[in-house]
Amino acid sequence: MNVVEKLSSILLKLLPRAYFLKVRSAYFKLKKKASPLLRLVYGTFTTDELIAEIDSRLDRDWRILMVHSSVNNLHPMYTGSALELLKALIDYCGPDRTLVMPTFNFGENEEGTRGMLQKNPRFDLRRTPSQMGLLTELFRRSRGVVQSRHPGYRVAALGPLAEQLTAGHEHAPSGMGKSTPFDFMAQHKAQIIGIGKTFQVMTQVHHVESLLDKDWPAPQNVLPNIPVTIVDKQEEIAMELGGVQQRWTFNIWKLREIMSSESLKEWRFHNCPMFAARADEVTDTLVAAAARGFTLYDPPKKH
């Protein structure tokens, strides 16, 4: 974990969300003022150069591209825009591959998805924006994109496997285990990438927690189901939002201990964080680790 990652993780834990966002805003303002110097030191890159860089890092046989992103983290070195990048990613996948992005919404003021739905148990797919960055919201609103029907871990997809990947998500209370987009991606040659993001944001690592169910080795609390109505245009779908709460502290950086640098690729492109991993390798590695009692959660320290 580099200095920025470590400081961000500490502040996120210690500060109320409102204060954290103020610090984050101040950081981006300072970064903007330093733009000329940063461009001088790290250089600049275009959208075409970014796509070429991504292509050079990926395996050849992928069918699905799951993109985690932060356009803010690409600036000021990136000379393009979020819309330009989105069009390029769609073109890169072409007609034979499927583009996927997380479009989660965790409510406001630290209430979380459950708190949001306890106040208002209706989740409108069309009207509820993504909180996973500008690129994901632009994608969610794009023509032909379909969304999975889950209020917690909704994803958006475009391409030949989009309908299959998103289908039936409302039947998985936790949103993460079997018969979910994350399960589908683990079985259909999905490549996960981070553009302007470290693997700290890789949601696929949570797939194993619900997948293993009672065989999960770390202590957790099963959360009560919340009745929810999913609104999808003129259709209303009743579902139950469930899930589990882990008792130990999440530490995703432990993933480096069990995945090689060839499987979990991390690098910087003009000083912008990037990562790549295959969904099946992430899930399979964590399933095997769990069988040995290893998870990405740290037990409380003994005093």
**pLDDT tens-digit map of 130-174:** 999 999 999 999 999 999 999 999 999 999 999 999 999 999 999
Would 137 be classed as within a structural domain? yes
Residue 187 has pLDDT above 60, yes or no: yes
Decide if 48 is inside a domain: yes
Same domain, 11 and 124: no
| In the predicted structure, residue 191 carries a pLDDT above the cut 90 | yes
Same domain as 237, residue 273: yes
> Where does the pLDDT of residue 72 fall: very low under 50, low under 70, confident under 90, or very high at 90 and above?
very high
Residue 253 token pair: 């950086």
Lowest mean pLDDT among 17-26, 161-170, 189-198, 250-259: 17-26
Query: Is residue 237, in this structure, part of any structural domain at all?
Result: yes
Q: What's the token pair of residue 177? A: 């285990």
- SS3 state of residue 268: strand
Full-model pTM? 0.91
Average pLDDT, the chain: 93
Do 115 and 4 share a structural domain? no
Check residue 257 and give its pLDDT.
Answer: 98
SS3 291: helix
| Residue 39 domain flag | no
Same domain, 13 and 75: no
- What is the percent of the chain where pLDDT is above 90? 84
* CA nearest to 213, candidates 174, 255, 171: 174
Q: Are residues 179 and 102 in the same domain?
A: yes
User: pLDDT tens digits, residue range 78-94?
Assistant: 999 999 999 999 999 99
Q: Are residues 249 and 144 in the same domain?
A: yes
Tokens of residue 134, six digits? 């500008």
Residue 263's φ and ψ, nearest 5 degrees, are -90, -40
Helices then strands (H, E): number in the chain? 12, 14
Two structure tokens written together for 117: 């739905």
The answer to whether residue 38 is domain-embedded is no
Q: Is residue 303 part of a domain?
A: no
Same-domain check for residues 225 and 276: yes
Cβ count within 10 A of residue 268: 11
Residues 11 and 152 both lie in one domain: no
CA torsion 244→283→202→185, rounded to 10°?
Answer: -100
pLDDT of residue 30: 75
- Domain membership of residue 262 (yes or no) is yes
- State the burial class of residue 37 (Cβ atoms within 10 Å of its Cβ: 0-12, 13-18, 19+): exposed
Answer yes or no: do 56 and 105 share one domain.
yes
Same domain, 179 and 210: yes
Q: How confident is the model at residue 33 (pLDDT cuts 50, 70, 90)?
A: confident
Give the domain extent around 131.
Answer: 44-298
pLDDT (0 to 100) of residue 34: 82
Is the domain of 106 the same as that of 8? no
Half-sphere exposure of 127 (CA within 13 A, CB side): 8
**Cβ 265 vs Cβ 277: under 8 Å:** yes
Residues 100-136: tens digit of each pLDDT: 999 999 998 778 999 999 999 999 999 999 999 999 9
DSSP secondary-structure letter at 77? Answer: T
At residue 39, what is the residue type? R
Domain assignment present for residue 51? The answer is yes
The answer on 140 and 206 residing in a single domain is yes
Domain count, the chain: 2
Does the pLDDT at position 267 exceed 90?
yes
13 — pLDDT class (breaks 50, 70, 90): low
Which tokens go with 174?
């936790």
110 three-state secondary structure: coil
CA-angle at 223, arms to 157 and 162, nearest 5°: 10
